[in-house]
Structure 1
Amino acid sequence: MALTSGTHTKMKNWLQNLISHGTYQIGSTTTTMPIQSITQVGDVITVQFYLADSVSGTITRFQVIDRDGEVFDDQPDSIVKPALNGLLVTFKYTISRV
């Protein structure tokens, strides 16, 4: 049995409303990132976070946190961020009917 169009739309809306904030880790310090934007185009939900130019160091992890404070997405990374430019961090999720 396939999902109805209405249920498919509800699932995309649910995902958009589930995300609370993000975090990034430099060394042993984890810092919160507020959501810059959440957009939906078709079946793709894009969540973006922005790190100001004042943030610098080697970022080793990005996480998306849900409304219950649980980790929704965990992405190890290794980005050396200088204090010269901001950084836009993007997570994309596709919810499609198969």
Structure 2
Amino acid sequence: MAITTQGHLKMKNWLIGIIKEGQYTMGGVKYKTPIYKTDLTGDVATIYLYLDDSVSGTITKFELIDQDGATFDDQPDNINKPNINGLLISFKYTLKKL
């Protein structure tokens, strides 16, 4: 038996709901940041983090932190972010119903 359409939607909502906040590493220090936006489109669940122009420096990692305070996902990176622009980061997950 296959998962229902409603069950598939619940799984995508669960995925987004388990994430509490974002985190980025700059200069070896970890900083928390709130979830900026989430999106459910088709089979794709996307979680966005946004760093405004008050943040500047070299960012070496972005993370999603779950409700238990553990790292759910991370993206190593090396971005030199100036203080004149914002920066939008996305974590995308595809949950296909087969």
Is 1:43 matched up with 2:56? no
Q: Which runs of 5+ in 1 are unaligned?
A: none
- After TM superposition, where is structure 1 displaced by more than 6 Å over at least 4 residues in a row? none
Q: Which runs of 5+ in 2 are unaligned?
A: none
2:20 and 2:90 map into 1 onto residues whose CA distance is 15
The percentage of counterpart residues that share the same residue type is: 53
Corresponding residue SS for 2:10: helix
1:43 and 1:50 map into 2 onto residues whose CA distance is 23
Corresponding residue SS for 1:13: helix
1:81 and 1:46 map into 2 onto residues whose CA distance is 22
Cα displacement (A) at 1:5: 2.0
Cα displacement (A) at 1:31: 0.3
Corresponding residue SS for 1:8: helix
TM-score scaled to structure 1, two decimals? 0.93
Corresponding residue SS for 1:16: helix
> Which residue type is aligned with residue 51 of structure 1?
L
Corresponding residue SS for 1:58: strand
Residues 42-76 of structure 1 deviation map (CA, whole Å, 9 limit, x = unaligned): 11111111101011111000001111111111110
What is the root-mean-square deviation of aligned Cα atoms in Å? 1.0
Is 1:88 matched up with 2:88? yes
> Which residue type is aligned with residue 80 of structure 2?
V
TM-score scaled to structure 2, two decimals? 0.93
Residues 2-60 of structure 1 deviation map (CA, whole Å, 9 limit, x = unaligned): 32222212111111111111000012110011011011011111111110101111100
Is 1:62 matched up with 2:66? no
Corresponding residue SS for 1:84: coil
Aligned length in residues: 98
